[in-house]
Chains A and B, each alone.
Chain A
Amino acid sequence: MSERVTVTGPRGRSARPLRRTTGDRSRVDAAPVRALMRVQAGHAALTCAIVALVAGGLPLLFAWEPALSRVRLFGVRLPWLVLCAVVPVVWVAVARRHVRLAERAERDFAAMTRHE
């Protein structure tokens, strides 16, 4: 009963390498990986910064300016409207943007290695 139960390793067509970017089987050239990682880390940092700004800023805003809570739009108090209707839309937009940027970075990287 000591068999490993983790199911790992490449599966399916997508996992088969189109092209070896680096030398032999056991070593990986770290430089191109670092370059891609830097780009992806930049996108990730920006996405997280937007989330931090919205999630960190709104409580501060409502705490500092209680008058905002008395403003009504369409009969709904402003904090309720912002938290229930606006912020979720912001999250969706940020998520979509991140997916797009991350995929483009990977496409660019793949094109670059193919042309090398």
Chain B
Amino acid sequence: MITMLAMALLIASLATVPARGRPAQVCDLYTAAREVSPWWNASAISGEYVSAAAFLGMAGLVLAYGADMLWLPIGAAAGHVVLLALVTAPLRRSGAYTLSDFAEWRLGSRRVRRAVSTCVLVIGWFYLLPQFQGAGVTLSVISGLPVWMGWLVVMAAVVVLVLPGGVRSITGVQAVQFWLKLTAVAVPALVFLAVWRLQNDADAARPPYFHRETTVTADTGAGIHLAAPAVVAVTGVLDGRRHSGERLHLAAGRHRVRAGTRLRFPAGAAVPHTSRIALLRGDRWATPFAGGREHPLAATYSVLLATILGTMGLPQITVRFYTNACGRTARRTAGLVVLMLAVFSLFPALFGTLGRLYTPELLMTGDTDATLLLLPHRIVPGVTGDLLTALVATGAFAAFTSTSCGVVVAVSGSIAQGLGGGTRGFRTAVLVAVAVPLLLAPWACTPQSAALVTVAFVVAASSLCPVLVLGVWWRRLTPPGAMTGVVAGGLPATAAGLARVLGDPGPGSGWLGTLVEQPAILTVPLAFAATIAVSLLTPGRVPERTDRAMARMHLPEELLPEGPR
């Protein structure tokens, strides 16, 4: 296992080698030194976007909740279509490097800049948290090390990569890593499909078993069915008798577990099926809106709204378009990104379905993020499985490092001015951006990293999306309007996000639970309404530069009159 890990890390670090360059000047910290071709840049953007959440998390979500989770990759790709249509070319032509720069340039207000920077920082934190979590799960699955080791490894990699070189050193990393990630899912997918076709009843022929020692806590009183006898350490009430950690020899067949009882299964034990798994199996799992959630249609629309509109507010995505030479190539890049993400959106469903068959115990452990990592061994045991696991783990680490690097650089670029500017401001900002999610990680109790990522999307959609869209297309936007919108949408979205991350995830209670879990359906319209209303109420505050700004954003570069911005 350790050698496998070493191999995985080695390949990942090899992928980063071509990108290491000379020590950078201040401006190089923020922009790639050369202009990047659309294809290469689109690879980098896709590499950033196909983050830990997409790579590991979405397969896990599909495994757990089935058809209802297929909307996530749909929304993710659609978000890039909307980004392409509304924002890409004008944002590139504005010449503003970060979202904060854009807000200040468009509205001429330091206060709006500060508000936007704060949002960027919060979004970055919410986005980094699941990257760290995913890294922890990956490391613990393939090596048995504690999860916090994974957090530290990714954080160290990010600091080492980002501090000396900035964007220039990571454009190459991300582009290479996108193709690494695509290989890491495509090759196992092809192998799995081939094997699956050869042994259609694989799940019945080979009962699933635990690959590592696993503690399962029964959260509801449930009957479990053991397919084979197992030695289990029980803390709590089993079959009507209280135990305190002693090992029991459980016969095959039915057993009753009281809620809160912990069962520790040794590696190799057969996986018990709970009544809960049986309930979600079959038709209900495969049918949209039948998974037993409350208000599933509203929750789905909320997720779609957040992912589609939140994409443009992700700082690490918008920054990338600056490495294109002009608005036209930026637009072409965005078109290619849609293509690359469309290819990628096939895989969560495939791996989730296979996970249902081969790793059903994840529904009891809750570690659904581990689906992709456990599948190779289950489906093709032996050396092939080892190699595939190494490949997937490498892809996963590539996802964590590239996404984390992108987020950290973008966030730091945005907030560095507020921290003194220059190289020192940038480096302080890097540490601020990395430290908070690291402190937050032990307290986060939502185990699914893809669920955590949606929180970042919600905040982005509710705070930065109105500023961007209205800033690009609406002449009557005023600084007070933008400010009000950012606060009115960003604050409730952040509060709901914190409640989601730190609170008990349990089943939501009615509409309030649904809204705390997926607030976008409320906060996004609120942010737009507040921005528009306050802008209309303060017509005297429309910035003088508006006409010039509009010309600069919408005219092709070669037609633009030279002059002050």
Contact = CB atoms under 8 A, between A and B. Distances in A.
A96 B335 contact: yes
A96 B349 CA distance: 25
Interface string A27-55: 11010010011001101100110010011
A96 B432 CA distance: 39
Interface stretch (B72-80, B181-189, B443-451, B483-491): B72-80
Interface stretch (B82-90, B212-220, B366-374, B494-502): B82-90
A78 to B, nearest CB: 10
B338 interface: yes
Q: Is the interface of B mostly helix, strand, loop or mixed?
A: helix
Interface in B460-480: 473
B558 A110 contact: yes
Contact of B30 (A7, A11, A91): A7
Given A2-B421, A6-B97, A66-B287, A17 B558 contact: yes
Q: Among A7, A20, A47, which residue has the most Cβ atoms of chain B within 10 A?
A: A7
B408 to A, nearest CB: 16
Interface in B69-120: 70-71, 73-75, 77-78, 80-82, 84-86, 89, 95-98, 101, 105
Interface in B413-433: 413, 416-417, 420-422, 424-426
A79 B289 CA distance: 11
B290 interface: yes
Chain A interface residue bracket vs B: 35 or more
B550 A33 contact: yes
B417 A5 contact: yes
Contacts of A91: 77-78, 80-81, 338, 342
B420 A1 contact: yes
Contacts, number: 222
A18 B387 CA distance: 56
B128 interface: no
Interface in B543-562: 547-548, 550-551, 554-562
A21 B559 contact: yes
Contact of B558 (A16, A66, A98): A16
Interface string B297-327: 1001100100010000000000000100110
Contacts of A7: 27, 30-31, 97, 322
B225 interface: no
Contacts of B81: 47, 51, 91, 94-95, 98
A13 to B, nearest CB: 9
A28 B286 contact: no
Contacts of B533: none
Interface string A89-116: 1011011101100110010011001000
Contact of A92 (B342, B350, B416): B342
B390 to A, nearest CB: 27
Interface string A8-29: 1111101111111110111110
A44 B101 CA distance: 24
B267 interface: no
A44 B85 contact: yes
B334 interface: yes
B52 interface: no
Given A5-B425, A11-B35, 20 more contacts: A5-B413, A10-B560, A12-B325, A12-B326, A14-B326, A17-B560, A25-B561, A41-B473, A44-B85, A59-B297, A77-B67, A79-B287, A80-B67, A83-B67, A91-B78, A92-B339, A95-B335, A95-B339, A98-B81, A99-B84
A25 B288 contact: no
Contacts of B304: 55-56, 59
Given A6-B96, A79-B288, A84-B70, A59 B301 contact: yes
